[in-house]
Amino acid sequence: MSDLSYVRTEMLEQKAPPASSVGLVGWLRANLFSSVGNSILTVVTLFFLLSLLASMMPWIFLGIWNADSLSHCREIFAERYGDSTEYACWAVVRDRWDQIIFGYSFGNLNEGLYWRPLVGLALIILALLPILYPNVPRVLYVATAASLFLYPWLIWGGSIWGPLTIALCIIAGVFIYRFASRFMIMAFAMPVAIVGTALLIYFAMAPVAGALGSAVPIELQSVPSREISGFVLSITIGIVAIVASLPIAVLLALGRQSDLFIVNKLSTGFIEIIRGVPLITLIFVATVLMKYFLPSSVDLDPVLAVMVLVTLFTAAYIAEVIRGGLAALPKGQYEAADALGLTYWQAQRLIILPQALKISIPGIVSNFISVFKDTTLVSIVALNDPLGISDSIRSDSDWNGIVWELYGFIAIVFWLFCFSMSRYSLWLERQLQTGHR
Amino acid sequence: MKKSVIFGAAAIASVSAMAAAAGTLDDVKARGKINCGVTEGTLGFSSRDSTGRHQGFDVEFCRALGAAIFDDADAVEYVELSSKNRFTALSAGQVDVLYRTTTWTFSRDVDLKTSFVGINYYDGQGFMVPKELGVASAKELEGATVCIETGTTTELNLADFFRANSMEYTPLPVGGTTEAKALFEEGACDVYTTDASALAGVRASLKDPSAYLILPEIVSKEPLGPTVRHGDNEWEDVVRWTQNSLVAAEELGVTSANVAELAAGTDNPSINRMLGAEGNLCEMLTLAPDCFVKAIAATGNYGEIFEKTIGESTPIGLARGLNALWTEGGLQYSPPFR
């Protein structure tokens, strides 16, 4: 009697998945042609993409980099391609890129000053490193402090002793605070220190800076505010707004959450007023209308006025983003902090804000990106942002008639900055990921 | 925020240093610079060259002012203003004088509280159309879409012209010459209208100028001139007579080349008075005695300015036309220096 039962002793070899579900074909089927409807959409989209590219690519890549003027470009097109089709005249970018990036003040007008904005930017990057990345040596905070005074000096020029004297006054202010806080509580020591610093700057700055300047003259060719233009202007305003607005925004958000009546109402009022008015109006008021109220001999620095306004504007928006983060924290976190016996500021610093800010990162960064792009609004007060410079390049008879090449170049530079900000925020979110949501 | 402290302190210091209110001329002298409002870019009248310097017809007049007041034609800070914000900037004190192809009209002079102190260019409004539109006269523009810059007199003239000829049109408002030109070239509007002087420059810069036609009609008077704030007569006088000196110089045959020589004294008492060899005209303006000599030396006389910025030898190629001297059939005329 034979035993017919059969038990297989070894496992079957795993078979390769069917060809239609792996590799390129599989990916295409899964992602682009998974159903009739999707297939139609894919084909239509591809058609539009290809026809767009087909018309753009020749324009971009058959463009000309070597020419003296737009008409020269057109001559070359006619000669080389023999038809009247327009191609990109990139020669304008080659000829004028330095004006768009560095503006007029460091461009050809004062040959050889490019190093100033470049060193300034390097300094800013160095200064931001310890703030942006946790693993960078803490020594770099020195650069952070130094850049606050050196960057304006590099951009505006003049004597180095002005910014340095202010730095000294502020250090003195810190000592005033230390000294005063031995005798009184913080709420009084702070105003005393601030008033002391202001008085020091007001009375001591001019003579001290003047004396130091005549003893050891270290000066850079000074640059009038109105001549600061191009991406140097955008980046300067953008960085100031981004760096200065965050602390203000945190205070405003906390103020709005606060139980103290006056603090609460002031913060709410500030935020709502600033958010209720378009940025362009604020900038216009700050630079043009303010001149109506001030004596005619006061020269309001237009760049400075714009910086202050853009900072306050950004702060109001970010304050609301942060308030969202604060509201998203479970009540237990606040209660736990109280239960540990932490003071208000300790609780905010150690428990609440780190979590709230972490939640708010995407919102904050998207505000930063939008404020950086908003810097182009300064054209309303006759400052030359990169777009303004593109206008004046076009009003030169050589390049009159160029549009897309300049806008394209400016767009790419803006995109580079904004894209790096957005990548950084993604990286930061991953770094701060603790696993619980 | 600490950056702002520097400027805040500087602002406070300057307030306390110059608390007393003063006239524009005193302010300008104290500042050491003239704030001159120019266009953000009009071919030939004001634009920046590849080195970032301002150049053009209007710019030369600013330079002449700089030379007359400070003996330095570069003591001028140019503020580039759009047609919309120019008067706000002037009345707010952001600029001391507008040399910004601004048309002298009654309401701007009286109602807007600005003062026009002269006419440096007699202009008129013209129309440009593509040839393929098949139009030979502005009176055939019934139903056309017109690109028009907002906040300008051309905008108002356009409405008047079409109403007077009982024609309909669709306005396409644009912010500036560049935008208008791009739209016009794309065919978004059938007609582009602006001052005839600018029209020639725009046409020259189009991709195919021969495909476009400037219609023969000039439908308005556009006297362009410098503008200052109302009620500041000392400053007004300086601007007016500096400009007049350039026109008078052309009439008297004074050029940038021979002005230094003629300033020493000539047989012509008119030249002597203007250039300071006799009398003290400049001192009456509280300027240096040879202020007009400096102005003419820096920029040349009116004719020289015209020729080197917008004249027939330049790509703009404008004829003198109405802007010839009165002795040559034009309208440029300076009151006497005496």
- Residue B70: which CATH number? 3.40.190.10
Asked if B182 and B50 sit in the same domain, the reply is no
Classify residue B296: in a domain, yes or no.
yes
Residue B236's Cα: distance from chain center in Å?
15
Classified as helix, coil or strand, B76 is strand
| Whether B15 contacts chain A with CB within 8 A | yes
Nearest chain B residue to A292, by CA? B92
Q: Is the pLDDT of residue B3 over 80?
A: no
- With vertex at residue B59, the alpha carbon angle to CA B293 and CA A376, rounded to the nearest 5 degrees, is 150
Is B4 part of the contact surface with chain A (CB cutoff 8 Å)? yes
What is the residue type of A5?
S
Task: Residue B49: list chain A partners with CB under 8 A.
Answer: 396
Instruction: State mean pLDDT over B305-326.
Output: 88
CA gap B294, B31 in Å, rounded: 20
B260, part of any domain: yes
Question: In this predicted model, what pLDDT tens digit does every residue of A388-413 receive, in sequence order?
Answer: 888 888 878 788 778 889 999 999 99
Same domain, B294 and B164: no
Owner of token pair 């000592």: A175
Q: Which of B1, B2, B3, B85 to mutate to test the interface with A (most CBs of A within 10 A)?
A: B3
Q: Are residues B180 and B168 in the same domain?
A: yes
pLDDT at A408: 93
**H or E stretch at B14:** helix B2-17
Beta bridge partners of B223: B122
Domain range spanning residue B312? 24-120+225-323
Give the per-residue pLDDT at A432: 83
Q: In this complex, how many residue pairs, one in chain A and one in chain B, have their CB atoms less than 8 Å apart?
A: 148
Q: Do A202 and B51 touch (CB under 8 A)?
A: no
**B80·A384 Cβ contact <8 A:** yes
Compare all CA atoms of chain B with the CA of A153 and give the residue at the minimum distance: B3
Q: What residues 134-193 of chain B have any CB closer than 8 A to a CB of chain A?
A: 176-178, 181-182, 185
Of A213-222, A265-274, B192-201, B275-284, minimum mean pLDDT range: A213-222
Q: What is the DSSP letter of A217?
A: -
> Chain B within 8 Å of A397 (Cβ-Cβ)?
yes
Q: Do A226 and B79 touch (CB under 8 A)?
A: yes
What is the share, in percent, of chain A residues with pLDDT greater than 90? Answer: 33
pLDDT value for B9: 46
Q: What's the burial of B214, exposed, middle or buried (CB within 10 Å: 0-12/13-18/19+)?
A: middle
Q: In degrees, to the nearest 5, what angle opens at C-alpha A184 toward C-alphas A179 and A190?
A: 70
Residue A73 near residue A97 (C-beta atoms within 8 A): no
**A224 to B52: CB separation less than 8 angstroms, yes or no:** no
Question: Among B64-68, B104-108, B176-180, where is mean pLDDT lowest?
Answer: B176-180
Q: Which of residues 57-96 of A touch B (CB under 8 A)?
A: 70, 74, 84, 86, 95-96
Nearest-CA distance from A251 to chain B in Å?
15
* Cα–Cα distance measured from residue A327 to residue A257, given in angstroms and rounded to the nearest whole number: 9
CB pair distance less than 8 Å for B80 and A382: yes
User: B200 and B148 in one domain?
Assistant: yes
A151 touches chain B (CB under 8 A): yes
Q: Which residue has the tokens 């682009």?
A: A32
Q: Which residues of A touch B91 (CB under 8 A)?
A: 292
Looking at chain B from residue 102 to 121, which residues have their Cβ under 8 Å from any Cβ of chain A? none
Quote the crossing angle between the two packed helices B24-31 and B233-252, to the nearest 10°: 80
- Whether the CB of A418 is below 8 Å from some CB of chain B: the reply is no
What is the SS3 string spanning B117-163?
CCCCEEECEEEEEEHHHCCCCHHHCCCEEEEEECCCHHHHHHHHHHH
Residue of A nearest to B176 (CA): A391
Q: Which residue of A has its CA nearest to B31?
A: A297
Q: What is the pLDDT of residue B11?
A: 47
Residue A129 and residue A143: Cα distance in Å, rounded? 9
Residue B7 domain-assigned? no
- Let me know whether B58 and B95 are in one domain: yes
Does any CB of chain B come closer than 8 Å to the CB of residue A210? Answer: no
| B115 and B146 fall within a common domain | no
Residues B131, B116, single domain; the answer is: no
Q: Give the per-residue pLDDT at A69.
A: 87
Q: pLDDT digit string (tens) for A42-96?
A: 999 999 999 999 989 988 998 889 988 888 888 888 888 877 778 899 999 998 8
Q: Do B22 and A297 touch (CB under 8 A)?
A: yes
pLDDT given for residue A182 in this prediction: 80
In a domain, B2, yes or no: no
Q: Are B225 and B312 in contact (CB under 8 A)?
A: no
Alpha carbons within 13 angstroms on the beta-carbon side of residue B76 total 30
Rounded CA-CA distance B336/B273 in Å is: 10
Q: What is the mean pLDDT of residues A216-232?
A: 84
Structure-token pair, residue A402: 């160029």
Task: Examine the domain organization and report whether B35 and B167 are in the same domain.
Answer: no
pLDDT tens sequence across A302-350: 888 899 999 999 999 999 999 999 999 999 999 999 999 999 989 999 9
pLDDT range class, residue A107, cuts 50, 70, 90: low
Q: How many domains does chain B have?
A: 2
| Average pLDDT value for residue range A168-173 | 85
In this predicted structure, what is the pLDDT of residue A110? 58
Report, as an integer, the average pLDDT of B222-243: 93
Within 10 Å of residue A78's Cβ, how many Cβ atoms? 12
Contacts of residue A152, defined as CB under 8 A and 6 or more positions apart, other chains included, come to A163, B3, B6
End-to-end Cα separation, chain A, in angstroms: 67
| Distance of residue B316 Cα from the nearest chain A Cα, in angstroms | 9
Pairing assessment for the beta strands B191-195 and B125-130 based on DSSP bridges: antiparallel
Which residue among B190, B221, B252 closes a domain?
A: B221
Longest dimension (CA), chain B: 66
Residue B330 counted as domain residue: no
Pair B140, B266 in one domain: no
Taking residues B2-7, what's their average pLDDT? 46
How many residues are present in chain B?
Answer: 338
| Domain-terminating residue out of B187, B221, B255 | B221
Task: Let me know if residue B1 belongs to a domain.
Answer: no
A278 min Cα distance to partner chain B (Å): 17
Residue A176 makes CB contacts below 8 A (sequence gap 6+) with: A192, A193, A196, A197
Q: Do A396 and B77 touch (CB under 8 A)?
A: no
Dig out the tokens for A66 from the structure: 């070597």
In this complex, which of A107, A201, A289 lies closest to B92 when CB atoms are compared? A289
Question: Is residue B194 less than 8 Å (CB to CB) from chain A?
Answer: no
Calpha distance B253→B295 (Å, rounded): 15
In sequence order, what are the beta bridge partners of B47? B55
ipTM: 0.76
| Band of residue B12 on the pLDDT scale cut at 50, 70, 90 | very low
Residue with tokens 């000539």: B266
Q: What is the pLDDT of residue A70?
A: 86
Position A109 scores a pLDDT of 55
Euclidean distance between CA atoms A387 and A376, whole angstroms: 7
Chain B residues touching A97 at Cβ < 8 A: none
Classify residue A34 by its DSSP letter. Answer: S
- The pLDDT tens digits of the residues spanning A363-373 come to 999 999 999 99
pLDDT at site A44:
96
In a domain, B3, yes or no: no
Residues of A in contact with B4 (CB under 8 A): 304, 307-308
* One domain, residues B165 and B115: no
Please name the amino acid found at residue A391. Answer: D
B174/B181 Cα distance (integer angstroms): 10
Q: How far is B223 from chain A (nearest CA, A)?
A: 22
Give dist(CA A254, CA A334) in Å, integer: 13
Interface test with B, best of A101, A400, A403 (most B CBs within 10 A): A400
**For helices B291-299 and B233-252, what crossing angle results, to 10°?**
60
Q: Do A108 and B12 touch (CB under 8 A)?
A: no
Q: Which of A271, A272, A269, A309 is nearest to A288 (CA)?
A: A309
User: Residue B295's pLDDT band (boundaries 50, 70, 90)?
Assistant: very high
Phi/psi zone of residue B71: left (φ > 0), alpha (ψ -120 to 50 degrees), beta?
A: left
CB within 8 Å: B178 and A395: yes
Residue A379 has pLDDT above 70, yes or no: yes
Closest Cα to residue B41, out of B201, B228, B224, B213? Answer: B201
Last residue of a domain, one of B221, B238, B260: B221
Is the pLDDT confidence value at A19 over 80? no
Q: Going along A201-254, which residue ranges are E strands?
A: 219-220
* List of chain A residues whose C-beta atoms are within 8 Å of the C-beta of residue B44: 397
> Residues B319, B179: one domain?
no
Whether B52 sits inside 8 A of A107 (CB atoms) is yes
Degrees to nearest 5, angle at CA A309 with B48 and A364: 110
Contact flag A392-B24 (C-beta cutoff 8 Å): no
Domains in chain A, start-ordered, CATH in brackets?
A: 70-113+227-330+360-431 (1.10.3720.10), 158-220 (no CATH)
8 Å CB contact of B93 and A296: yes
CB contact under 8 A, B12 and A202: yes
Q: Spell out the residues 6+ positions from residue B336 whose beta carbon is closer than 8 angstroms to its own.
A: B248, B270
- Helix H or strand E encompassing B109: helix B106-110
B193 within 8 A of B128, measured Cβ to Cβ: yes
For B167-226, what is each residue's pLDDT tens digit? 999 999 887 777 888 889 888 999 999 888 888 778 877 878 888 988 888 888 889 999
What confidence tier does A108 reach under pLDDT thresholds 50, 70, 90? low
Please indicate, yes or no, if residue B9 is contained in any of the structural domains.
no
CA–CA gap between residue B167 and residue B162 (Å, rounded): 5
| Shortest CA distance from A167: residue in chain B | B2
**CA B163 from centroid of its chain's CA atoms:** 29
B237 and B260 co-located in one domain: yes
